Amino acid sequence: MTKREKQVLFWIVEGKTNGDIGRILEISPRTVEKHCESIFRKLGIENRYAAIVFALTSNWELKPE
């Protein structure tokens, strides 16, 4: 997973929307959506909820960097 994807995943876990994440990372909400699609594909999951569960149960060190 890329550094940017990890940043997006961090903010997903924090409950932020694509618009919120875009403002925080200074990218468009559509770019956030594309990162989400890539994250879901790489993790073999289907949605944000599954990404949150994965991140919280896999002992990943999440930080905004």
CATH of domain 3-57: 1.10.10.10
**Mean predicted lDDT score pLDDT of the chain:** 92
- pLDDT higher than threshold 90 for residue 28: yes
Q: How large is the average pLDDT for residues 40-52?
A: 95
Question: What are the residue ranges spanned by the domains of the chain?
Answer: 3-57
Tell me, what's the pLDDT at 21?
98
- pLDDT higher than threshold 70 for residue 63: no
Q: How large is the average pLDDT for residues 39-47?
A: 96
Q: What is the pTM of this model?
A: 0.89
Question: 3-state SS string over the chain?
Answer: CCHHHHHHHHHHHCCCCHHHHHHHHCCCHHHHHHHHHHHHHHHCCCCHHHHHHHHHHCCCCCCCC
Q: How large is the average pLDDT for residues 28-53?
A: 96
